[in-house]
Amino acid sequence: MTFVSITKNYGNLAITTMDHSALSDVGMRRANNQDAYTVTLANSDEQWRTRGHLFVVADGMGAHAAGELASKLAAETVSLLYRKYPSENAPTALCRAFEDANAKIYARGQANPDFSGMGTTCSALVLLPQGAFCGHVGDSRIYRLRKNHLEQLTFDHSLVWEYRAAASQFVGQEKPGECKLPSNVITRSLGPHPEVKVDLEGPFETEFGDTFLLCSDGLSGLVSDEEIGQIMGRFSSEVATQFLVNLANLRGGHDNITVIVTKVGEAPLLPAKEATLDMSGGLALALGGMNLVGVIACSIWEKWGPAAIFFFCMILFSMWGYFILKQSPKDNGGENFDLGDPFGEGPHTRTVCQNGEDFAQVLEKVSKEFIEAAKAEKWDFQWSELDEIYGKAQKTHETGELSVAIEHYVTLINKMVVQLHNQPNEQEQG
């Protein structure tokens, strides 16, 4: 499912425009989708200032339908309860929403033997005027791309990452996946236990052009950080979301795949504090100088008459207005707008995503193998259109126009996947 860009204005407050898209796919090897996600946009001035936009991804685990239920409960409960604590600041409210979701999933597991021990990861991104912050349990990830640097804002609660942290070997850009331990064993999730520790990360400053991505490990397990960053930086959220899911499926799709991409648009995020009109300062100035003004006015009247008095008053009121606007900035409404002291230790990894040649070669190989498989299976594709795109991709690749070549390869692969989905199944053919 794709969410169309939404832009709203409330008085002088512009809710940040965002190009954002979300998609969840069952993958190639699973019978059902145990991932879930929600996108909840602020729909008023107050909500934008106090709670912002909320994006949530959850990846469930458990036999039967337990994982599917757990992830659904997590995504829906966090999204609903995050806005139900008006007396708390945003990070505290999100943490409480996670804890309540954990309690709800745990209670359902205890009440039904079929759901015993069910659990789910849960990662939530909040975008506010003051910046961005994350709430996180498990190994679903949240990334931020700024220019050509991709940063992982969350810490994987997995055996690999926990081992690295405990051994003090996880430093800078060292990849936790290089450790010779099972990569799919998570150490923390919502649901299995009555209590859970929630990681909060942030707040992170947000700039025009920043792109955020939330995903389950169905993506991050098959597509590298550098590849994710290359796609996020080159394409709209919708194209990026579709292609990342397609690429993971073409590499085996061994798990469910969920991706949310959101780009901060043209309206910049507001600062945490902004100038407000304070009439008391201006009135004090005006009243304090009234006697002096009177004396000067009388002198001007005697020498130059009413016209001079008029221009003198205009100058006076201009100075008064300038004084008002230069008053010290004040908080926009109390503690709800204060995110508090920084929390967490993120970003936890940082990857430079600028080697277009290597990525173009990867896409060329994927495209070639996909075409060969499609022709071997005799799929009914629109080959004239696809061959034309492939030819453009190869030509621009050979001439060193890497960005254009990558764009053509991505377009080709996305179109081929759409046409593959439109192929009649065996029952229809029979």
Q: What is the pLDDT of residues 177-198, one digit of tens each?
A: 555 666 678 999 999 999 999 9
Q: What is the pLDDT of residue 307?
A: 57
pLDDT of residue 129: 86
**What is the model's pLDDT at position 218?**
97
DSSP type of residue 186: B
Decide: 264 and 207 in contact? Cβ < 8 Å: yes
CA dihedral 89, 214, 39, 415 (to 10 degrees): 160
1 burial via Cβ count (<10 Å: 0-12, 13-18, 19+): exposed
pTM of the model: 0.80
Q: Cα(127)–Cα(334) distance, rounded to whole angstroms?
A: 19
Give the C-alpha separation, 135 to 98, whole Å.
Answer: 8
∠ at Cα 142 (141, 147), nearest 5°? 135
Q: Round to whole Å and give the CA distance between 411 and 395.
A: 15
- What DSSP string runs through 110-159? HH-GGGTT-EE-EEEEEEETTEEEEEEESS-EEEEEETTEEEE-S---BH
Distance CA 131, CA 273 (A): 12
Position 166 scores a pLDDT of 80
CATH class of 9-264: alpha beta
213: CB partners within 8 A, 6+ apart: 141, 142, 143, 145, 228, 232, 259, 260, 261, 262
> Per-residue pLDDT tens for 16-74?
556 899 999 999 999 999 999 999 999 888 888 899 999 999 999 987 789 999 999 99
Angle between helices 402-421 and 356-376 (to 10 degrees): 30
> Can you read off the two tokens belonging to residue 238?
């919708």
H helix or E strand, kind and range, residue 58: strand 53-61
CA distance 417 to 95: 39
> Using CA atoms, how far apart are residues 336 and 46, in angstroms rounded to an integer?
10
Place of tokens 């407000």: 276
Grouping H, G, I as helix, E, B as strand and the rest as coil, residue 73 is helix
Question: How far apart, in whole angstroms, are the C-alpha atoms of residue 231 and residue 229?
Answer: 5
Q: Work out whether strand 199-204 and strand 131-137 pair parallel, antiparallel, or are unpaired.
A: antiparallel
Task: List the one residue out of 142, 132, 127 whose CA is nearest residue 203.
Answer: 132
Give the integer Cα–Cα distance in Å for 78 and 38.
9
Q: Which segments in the chain show pLDDT lower than 70? A: 1-18, 168-183, 266-338, 426-430
Query: What pLDDT is attached to residue 296?
Result: 59
- Residue reference for tokens 């107050």: 46
User: Per the structure block, which two tokens stand in for 154?
Assistant: 């969350």
pLDDT confidence of residue 301: 55
In this prediction, residue 37 carries a pLDDT of 98
Tokens linked to 50: 């106090």
CA distances from 144 to 68, 157, 215, 223, 302 (A): 27, 19, 12, 16, 69
Q: How far apart are the first and last CA of the chain?
A: 31
Sketch the domain layout of the chain as residue ranges: 9-264, 277-328, 356-429
Query: And the tokens for 93?
Result: 């409210």
pLDDT at 76: 98
pLDDT of residue 7: 38
